[in-house]
Structure 1
Amino acid sequence: MTVSTDEPVTSAPAANVLDELKWRNLLSISTDEAELRKTLGSGSVTYYAGFDPTGPSLHIGHLVQILTMRRLQQAGHRPLALVGGATGLIGDPRPSAERVLNSPEVVAGWVERLRGQIEPFLDFTGPNAATMVNNLDWTSGLSAIEFLRDVGKHFRVGKMLAKDVVSTRLNSEAGISYTEFSYQILQSMDFLELNKRYDCTLQIGGSDQWGNLTAGTDLIHKARPEAAVHALATPLITKADGSKFGKSEGGAVWLDPEMTSPYAFFQFWLNCEDAKIIDYLRVFTFRTAGQIAELEESATSRPQAREAQRALARDMTSLVHGELAASRVEEASKALFGGGDLTGLDAGTLGDALGELPKAQLRRGEHLLVDVLVAAGLAKSKSDARRTLSDGGAYVNNVKVTGGEVATVSTADLLHDRWILVRRGRRQLAALELVGE
């Protein structure tokens, strides 16, 4: 994964970074906002966010924490990015059912993949250089007796039972194992260890993790009463209807380009709803208040131009996949609808773009376009396809078809010897793949 460093930078002075986070709607709750403001304004603060390797890739929901870490570092503070090789072996309890435990070998592989996705967003040089950490380093040699005596004694079961997800699971048929019940103790121990090892005094995370965040501050208050520590939670990012943001029709939008192609990634942001587009620009981009105000004016007065969505899609694709990938997928997005040169797209980008469309497969050779329109789902029947052709509404590789119902497509129309783009009207697209010898 390539991360662009050319985005507009709005890093605030250390004293103002909390105001920057609030303006970007990135501050949901904190342990003591007034004291945290004073702490952030008095010098460099070491802070951390944790990411569990419960899969082979992070998704765009994780970007909220990663980019918040980046903003804090730009303001002069020092980040610790924790990928939980230990907590990833357990998994944060889900409200629905017990997680499937993955093998240590699988989790170790995911740790390396996630590290590789996080590292490009942070600066590992200079006085506030970032550090990658793994909680397996301080848990792998810990005995059960040490864990119970030195850490477990500071937790009260009643308070642990009151946690929403624990309560939900206890009242369900699935119940909850002692393994998952103990997760918050392991995560709390991370903050304690980072406070001892790196003088880390701030943990950030999502508001859905607030119970785990405050469990960490509580543990430090008991085990190291002389330490002053804070927790800061960002809000959950939602759609206009209140549902969780970050999923496409195919599921989560991943940072790994093999799991979500750069083209699909670009299209996800491009299709963001008008009602939330300015919120997303604040949360996810590094555009200035002035730049976002201009895009807000455009979204209000010229919503059909979708300039705000295009800016968001371009910024996010550049940030995660690099400028070159962003340029390629932007050209592909235009070309699919007749605004660019299809033949100029490289095979990978074209394949990713066409892979997002309805598809039909036919044997290599010559085929009536009437049959192709039906096979690709662009016409309900042959008679419907004939009407489309007679009305001049069919396009092959963005070229208007003039041959009427006897028009054909063949291997001569193939792009990169594989694909043919078929379009009905302005917006209905499908990809035809000719296969075989």
Structure 2
Amino acid sequence: MMKLNKLNKNLIQEFLWRGLIHNTTYSKKIKNEKITLYTGFDPTSKSLHIGNLVAIIMLIHFKRSGNKIISVIGGGTGMIGDPSGKNSERIIIKKESLQKNIKNLKKQLSFFLDSNEILNNYEWFKKTLFLDFAKDIGKYFTINYMLSKDSIKKRISKKNSISFTEFTYQLFQAYDFLYLYKKKNCSLQIGGSDQWGNITSGIELIRKKLGRKVNGLTFPLITKLDGSKFGKTEKGDNIWIDPNFTSPYEFYQFWINISDDQAKKYIKIYTFLKKEEIKEIIFFHEKNPNLKLIQKKIASEITIFVHGNKIFEKIKFISNILFKKEKILTNLSKNDIKSIYENIPHKNLFIDINFKIPILDLLVNKSNFIKSKKEAIRHLKCNSILINKKIIKENFFLKKKDLISESYVLLQKGKKNFFMIKFNFLFLTHL
């Protein structure tokens, strides 16, 4: 049986070592006590992403230490929209879309947490009248205090407008904390570093209204390579938990391809490995960085955590085929080829059985694997385009005889980018 430790300096020290604390109200004098804590999840998309995984991992750390955890899906606050980290007004989500998102997020969270640990704040907001809320909650916040929050100051300083709706968001999140404190004895809220203003508003509300001290703790935001945060309504490439948004293969490859600096940081944040084991992996990685030992360990741990061991073993098999030159695609079974197709970026095409496709048309128009003919020509001249793992030239035409298992073709750009097409044949009568 796992030994449970109370919330104490050791747990906080471990969070500090793992780089999981950005800010906290905890003082050096931490009581040895079990607590109830919560964090919120914004249902502005159908799926959670790897930024949300940090919150889930934090909850699990707390739970393993004997504390009670609560995750709150913002079915109520999601109707408003959090202005934190936003340069412009959020688009209001339609009620039907919001309900679908809530359902999907609850299903995803249930994979990591017990269902009785997952709440929806719409359940308490639907019973709250605006006049009562303004009187009972609004009176504890001055306009000056609300304007002092970074999420508000940044919007105004950039000369962007902010609606009354988003301006009051911090009051609703503060009420979440108050409600959970009164109903569940919840004394700690955790969240990403952009939530510090909302969290401290909750702490302030409980102090003023009830005369009680509660705490807040934030962890650093995980950012993309361009420095922007992983966000559900942001444009660009997010790494999603839902395999329909980010395939398990793409998910695994994301971690394999992170830099050494990122890997040394993420192995502490995204795995539950002990300090000694992490130090050992980093030590051997630095002796031979080309082996990418840290990246491989993170990729395996987090892929199993999110998608399960069975999917991970399939991804390892696929990666071994794609990245090992000695593997011959034509020797694979049809089921193996189908498995590769389903787990990497792909497209299904209908075509005449007597097709003859120029390589540029295949790369750009038929597959959208490469964005433009100019880019495709450049890669072809550099010998970085492969068809079924063989380098091809600009004069290449794809024909039926080139297909694997009579239906598939594997496109490759450089060493890491793969795309597969499945051809379905139309038998046309030519007059």
Paired AA for residue 380 in structure 1: I
**CA offsets, 1:255-279, max 9 Å, x none?**
1111111111111111111122111
- Distance (Å, rounded) in 1 between the aligned partners of 2:310 and 2:328: 17
Does the 8 Å contact 2:411/2:418 carry over to 1?
Answer: yes
Alignment of 1:327-366 (within 5 A): 327-338=313-324, 340=327, 342=329, 343-344=332-333, 346=336, 349-355=339-345, 364-365=353-354
Q: CA deviation at 1:213?
A: 0.5
* Alignment-derived partner of residue 227 in structure 2: 243
- Distance (Å, rounded) in 2 between the aligned partners of 1:398 and 1:335: 10
> Which moves more between the two structures, 156-165 or 277-286?
156-165
Q: Does 1:233 align with 2:218?
A: yes
Distance change (3 Å), C-alpha of 1:328 and 1:34:
same
Q: CA deviation at 1:122?
A: 2.1
Q: CA deviation at 1:29?
A: 1.2
* Alignment-derived partner of residue 113 in structure 2: 122
* Alignment-derived partner of residue 111 in structure 1: 102
Q: CA deviation at 1:367?
A: 4.8
Paired AA for residue 75 in structure 1: S
Distance change (3 Å), C-alpha of 1:185 and 1:245:
closer
Q: Which runs of 5+ in 2 are unaligned?
A: 364-369, 427-431
- Distance (Å, rounded) in 2 between the aligned partners of 1:86 and 1:382: 50
Does the 8 Å contact 2:38/2:69 carry over to 1?
Answer: yes
- What SS is found at the alignment partner of 2:295? helix
- What SS is found at the alignment partner of 1:251? coil
Q: Does 1:47 align with 2:41?
A: no
* Alignment-derived partner of residue 5 in structure 1: none
Distance change (3 Å), C-alpha of 1:347 and 1:113:
farther
Does the 8 Å contact 1:374/1:381 carry over to 2?
Answer: no
Q: Which runs of 5+ in 1 are unaligned?
A: 1-8, 125-129
Higher relative contact order (CA 8 A, sep 6+): 1
With normalisation by structure 1, the TM-score equals 0.82
- What SS is found at the alignment partner of 2:69? strand
Equivalent residue for 1:58, pick from 48, 60, 74: 48
Does the 8 Å contact 2:250/2:344 carry over to 1?
Answer: no
Q: CA deviation at 1:106?
A: 2.1
* Alignment-derived partner of residue 411 in structure 1: 400
In percent, how many aligned pairs have the same letter? 31
Q: CA deviation at 1:110?
A: 1.2
Q: Does 1:76 align with 2:66?
A: yes
Q: CA deviation at 1:234?
A: 0.8
- Distance (Å, rounded) in 2 between the aligned partners of 1:409 and 1:258: 29
Does the 8 Å contact 2:345/2:419 carry over to 1?
Answer: no
Q: CA deviation at 1:169?
A: 2.8
Q: CA deviation at 1:220?
A: 0.3
Distance change (3 Å), C-alpha of 1:55 and 1:199:
same
Q: CA deviation at 1:207?
A: 1.2
* Alignment-derived partner of residue 429 in structure 2: none
RMSD: 3.5
* Alignment-derived partner of residue 420 in structure 1: 409
- Distance (Å, rounded) in 2 between the aligned partners of 1:383 and 1:116: 45
Q: CA deviation at 1:69?
A: 0.4
* Alignment-derived partner of residue 305 in structure 2: 319
**CA offsets, 1:30-63, max 9 Å, x none?**
113324x32xx22x21000011111111111111
Does the 8 Å contact 2:341/2:420 carry over to 1?
Answer: no
- Distance (Å, rounded) in 2 between the aligned partners of 1:381 and 1:210: 48
Q: CA deviation at 1:137?
A: 1.3
* Alignment-derived partner of residue 301 in structure 1: 287
Does the 8 Å contact 2:7/2:35 carry over to 1?
Answer: no
Equivalent residue for 2:146, pick from 144, 160, 180: 160
- What SS is found at the alignment partner of 2:216? strand
With normalisation by structure 2, the TM-score equals 0.83
> Which moves more between the two structures, 163-172 or 174-183?
163-172
Alignment of 1:374-413 (within 5 A): 375-376=362-363, 380=377, 397-398=388-389, 410-413=399-402
> Which moves more between the two structures, 114-123 or 340-349?
340-349
* Alignment-derived partner of residue 127 in structure 1: none
Q: CA deviation at 1:337?
A: 2.2
* Alignment-derived partner of residue 218 in structure 1: 204
Q: CA deviation at 1:334?
A: 1.8
Q: CA deviation at 1:304?
A: 0.9
